[in-house]
A and B are shown apart, each in its own frame.
Chain A
Amino acid sequence: MRVGVFICHCGNNIAGTVDVAKVAEAARMMPGVAFATTYMYTCSEPGQEEIKETIKREKLDRVVVAACSPRMHEVTFRRTVEKAGLNRYFFEMANIREHCSWVGEDKALNTNKAIETIKLAVEKVKQNKPLFPAKFKINKRVLVIGGGVAGMQAALDCADGGLDVVLVEKSSSVGGMMARLDKTFPTVDCSICILGPKMVDVSQHEKINLHAYSEIEEIKGYVGNYQIKIRKKATYVDWSKCTGCGACIEKCPSRNAYDYFNFGVAPARAINIPFPQAIPKKATIDAQFCRQFIKGKCGVCAKFCPVGAINYEMKDEIVTEDVGAIIVASGYGLIDLDKLPEYGGGRYPDVISGIQYERILNASGPTSGHIERPSDHAEPKTIVFVSCAGSRDKSIGIPYCSNFCCMYIAKQAILTKDHIPDSQSYVFYIDIRSPGKGYDEFTRRAQEEYGAKYIRGRVSRIYPKGKKMVVKGADTLLGTQVEIEADLIVLATAVTATNDARTLAEKLHISYDQNGFYVESHPKLRPVETNTSGVFLAGACQGPKDIPASVSQGSAAAAKVLSIFSKDTLESDPQIARVNTNVCVGCRKCIGTCPFGAIEEQQLRDGRIVANVIETVCAGCGICSSTCPCGAIQLQHFTDNQLLAEVNALCLT
Chain B
Amino acid sequence: MSEKEYIYFPGCSLEASAIEYDMSVRKVLTSLGVKLIEPDDWSCCGSTPAHSVDHVFAAAVAARNLAIVEKMGACTVITACPACLSAFKKAHHRMKKEEGFKKEVNAILDEPYNCGVTAKSVLQVLLEDIGPKAVAEKVTTDLPDLKVAPYYGCIINRPPEIMEFDDPENPLAMDKLMGAVGVKVCDFAFKVECCGAAFGVAKRKMVNELSSKVLTMALDAGANCLVVTCQLCQQNLDLRQGQINSTMGASFNMPVLFFTQVMGLTYGYSSQEMGIDKHNVNAESLIKSRRPVEERIKEEQEKAKGKKPKAKKAEEEES
Please give the residue numbers on chain B whose beta carbons come within 8 Å of chain A beta carbons, in ascending order: 167-170, 189-190, 193, 217, 220
Contacts and interface: CB of A to CB of B under 8 A. Distances in A.
B169 A465 contact: no
Contacts of A342: 169
B170 A463 contact: no
A461 B213 CA distance: 14
Contacts of B170: 341, 347
A341 B169 contact: yes
B220 A466 contact: yes
Contacts of A347: 170
Interface in A449-467: 461, 463-466
16 contacts: A341-B167, A341-B168, A341-B169, A341-B170, A342-B169, A344-B189, A347-B170, A461-B193, A463-B189, A463-B190, A463-B217, A464-B189, A465-B189, A465-B217, A465-B220, A466-B220
| Chief secondary structure at chain A's binding surface | mixed
Interface in A328-384: 341-342, 344, 347
Nearest to B216: A465
A-B pairs with lowest CB-CB distance, top 7: A463-B189, A341-B169, A342-B169, A464-B189, A465-B220, A466-B220, A341-B170
A341 B167 CA distance: 9
Contacts of A344: 189
A344 B167 CA distance: 12
A463 B213 CA distance: 12
Nearest to B193: A461
A347 B220 CA distance: 18
A344 to B, nearest CB: 8
Nearest to B192: A461
Given A341-B169, A463-B190, 14 more contacts: A341-B167, A341-B168, A341-B170, A342-B169, A344-B189, A347-B170, A461-B193, A463-B189, A463-B217, A464-B189, A465-B189, A465-B217, A465-B220, A466-B220
A510 to B, nearest CB: 35
Interface in A461-479: 461, 463-466
Contacts of A466: 220
A651 B4 CA distance: 67
Contacts of B168: 341
Contacts of B193: 461
Contacts of B220: 465-466
B314 to A, nearest CB: 14
Contacts of A463: 189-190, 217
Contacts, number: 16
A461 B189 CA distance: 10
Nearest to A463: B189
Max count, chain A CB within 10 A of own CB: residue among B167, B169, B217 = B169
A466 B169 CA distance: 20
A341 B189 CA distance: 12
A341 B157 CA distance: 14
Contacts of B217: 463, 465
A344 B190 CA distance: 12
Contacts of A465: 189, 217, 220
Contacts of A461: 193
Contacts of A341: 167-170
B319 to A, nearest CB: 8
A344 B187 CA distance: 13
A291 B217 CA distance: 43
A365 B139 CA distance: 51
Nearest to A342: B169
Contacts of B189: 344, 463-465
Nearest to B167: A341
A61 to B, nearest CB: 60
A341 B172 CA distance: 14
A465 B193 CA distance: 14
Contacts of A464: 189
A466 B221 CA distance: 8
Nearest to A345: B169
Contacts of B169: 341-342
Contacts of B167: 341
A464 B168 CA distance: 18
B191 to A, nearest CB: 9
B157 to A, nearest CB: 12
A576 B154 CA distance: 64
A299 B220 CA distance: 48
A194 B237 CA distance: 59
A639 B288 CA distance: 92
A347 B170 CA distance: 9
A51 B169 CA distance: 66
A106 B189 CA distance: 59
A344 B168 CA distance: 12
A347 B193 CA distance: 17
A344 B193 CA distance: 14
A463 B167 CA distance: 16
A127 to B, nearest CB: 50
A461 B194 CA distance: 12
A464 B167 CA distance: 18
Nearest to B190: A463
A464 B190 CA distance: 9
A354 B189 CA distance: 23
A223 to B, nearest CB: 47
A438 B128 CA distance: 58
A347 B171 CA distance: 13
A451 to B, nearest CB: 29
A464 B189 CA distance: 7
A341 B191 CA distance: 13
A341 B170 CA distance: 8
Nearest to B189: A463
Contacts of B190: 463
A470 to B, nearest CB: 8
A342 B158 CA distance: 13
A461 B193 CA distance: 9
Nearest to A462: B189
Nearest to A464: B189
A513 B217 CA distance: 45
A459 B25 CA distance: 38
Interface string A167-211: 000000000000000000000000000000000000000000000
Interface string A312-328: 00000000000000000
A342 B192 CA distance: 11
B182 to A, nearest CB: 25
Interface string A584-606: 00000000000000000000000
A203 to B, nearest CB: 38
B7 to A, nearest CB: 33
A465 B218 CA distance: 10
